[in-house]
Each structure stands twice: as C-alpha cells, then as structure tokens.
Chain A
Amino acid sequence: QSALTQPPSVSGSPGQSVTITCTGTSSDIGTNNRVSWYQQSPNTAPKLILYEVGNRPSDVPDRFSGSKSGNTASLTISGLQAEDEADYYCNSYTNSTTLGIFGGGTKLTVL
C-alpha cells in the first residue's frame, strides 16, 4: 500500500497559522477516523500530537487541531512558534491493517 500524500514542505511566520494536508484513499483515511499526527524535531523520537483526527494528548497545546473530509486529513497549527519547526507525519489505519500507514512527512519552517 502506498504512503499517504503530504506536501514536502510548508512555512509560516511566527503568530500565523499553517495547515498540513494528508491525502489518502477510500481504503485508508476515507474509511475510518483513526488518523493520527506526529511531530519529529531533529534527532529526536516522534511525538504524538493528535489522534483519532482531532483529539490532543494532555501535554499538547490547543494551537494544534485536526480535521478530516473524505480522503483527506488536515493538521492546523495556529499561533506559530519557533519551537513548532519540525517534521510532521500523518498516519491512518487502513482496511487491511491496524498498523496503519504513514504519510511521507512535511517539513515545517518557521520564518
């Protein structure tokens, strides 16, 4: 199964909002709400920031929000901060595995 499709890079200035999309198919994103997002800063392990489309773990600020429409999920970061600069990966269950598949990753640059 192919990876989910994310833009390779996005950028924004401090205080602005950015949205990262994650496009799949009717066999993965389109078939369930088990979409999660991970933030990975350089040389560190990934960190869960959203699960089941728009739920945040308790240690994640509400500047991070998620949504889904059809076969596309989105991560929106509002009030950009320098510390948000990282790689972001989406993941979705598929109709054949609960391991899920990852997106190719998006590098967020805070200008």
Chain B
Amino acid sequence: EVQLVQSGAEVRKSGESLKISCKSSGYNFNIYWIGWVRQMPGKGLEWMGMIYPGDSDARYSPSLQGQVTISVDKSISTAYLHWSSLKASDTAMYYCARRYSSAWGYWGQGTPVTVSS
C-alpha cells in the first residue's frame, strides 16, 4: 500500500528556518515525482514545486522560486520542504503528493505551519 506520512504541526516565528518532511512507503521511492502543495487558510491549492528522487531534479513554481528548497533523502525514502527564513505569509497547510500517471494520486495528510510575526 502506497503511503505518504508527513511530519507534525509546526509553530515558528518570522525569520526562523524550518524543514518539514514527507516519508514514503509501499513503492519504489526513486522513480516517482513528489510534489508539494500549499493551501493558505480558507484558500485554494497552489503548487510549490516537485522533485524526482532518482536524481534530485527539482522544479519550482515560478511564483515561489527562491522562497523554498525541495530535497530528498533516498536512504529513508523521505522528501523535504525547507525555508531558510519564514514569513508570516508562509502560514498554511502543506501537502506532499506522489505522481499517478500524469496526475497526483497519493497524498500526505498535510502539515500545518503557523508563522507569527
């Protein structure tokens, strides 16, 4: 069974760094893209970027490029989303997802991130 399990809720202050995780199981981690989606409070879904674990090829949404870094640790089948300096506007729910054909068919449960100013 394919499962994506995300790390727990985070509360940080503006300017702090943060790395959240998405641990995969039940399939060959190396050969499926993993994506990250942001959902701000009461708003819709927005792509942040995606990564191919096999060669760590990472691609970012043009509107968010430079604000976050996506990485993987293949040894533990885990993808990461990293901020070096959080802003209050980063407050949101973050989901990871895995490719299913050309779509995204397997989702993590979400990680809520709260950033206070």
Chain A interface residues toward B at CB < 8 A: 1, 3, 34, 36, 38, 40, 45-48, 51-52, 55, 57, 87, 89, 91, 93, 97-105
B97 neighbours in A (Cβ, 8 Å): 46
B60: shortest Cβ distance to chain A, in Å?
Answer: 8
Does B108 lie within 8 Å of A91, measured CB to CB?
A: no
Further contacts, 12 of them, CB under 8 A, given A51-B102, A89-B44, A102-B44: A46-B37, A48-B105, A52-B101, A89-B45, A91-B45, A97-B59, A98-B59, A98-B102, A99-B49, A102-B47, A103-B44, A104-B44
Does A48 lie within 8 Å of B44, measured CB to CB?
A: no
B10 in the interface (beta carbon within 8 A)? no
B11 in the interface (beta carbon within 8 A)? no
Chain B interface SS verdict (over half): strand
Q: CA–CA, A48 to B107, complex, Å?
A: 9
Q: Give chain B interface residues in 56-79, CB to chain A under 8 Å.
A: 59, 61-62
Q: CA–CA, A6 to B22, complex, Å?
A: 30
A34 neighbours in B (Cβ, 8 Å): 102-103
Does B47 lie within 8 Å of A99, measured CB to CB?
A: yes
Does A51 lie within 8 Å of B101, measured CB to CB?
A: yes
Q: List 20 A-B contacts (CB under 8 A).
A: A1-B62, A3-B44, A36-B103, A38-B104, A45-B95, A45-B110, A46-B104, A48-B103, A48-B104, A51-B102, A51-B105, A89-B44, A91-B45, A91-B104, A99-B61, A100-B47, A102-B44, A102-B46, A103-B44, A105-B45
Interface residues as binary, B34-56 with A (CB distance below 8 Å gives 1, 0 otherwise): 01010000001111011000000
B75: shortest Cβ distance to chain A, in Å?
Answer: 26
Residue of B nearest to A91 (CB): B103
Chain B interface residues toward A at CB < 8 A: 35, 37, 44-47, 49-50, 59, 61-62, 95, 97, 100-105, 107-110
Other-chain residue from A46, A48, A51, A98 in contact with B45 (beta carbon distance below 8 A): A46
Residue of A nearest to B95 (CB): A45
A100 neighbours in B (Cβ, 8 Å): 47
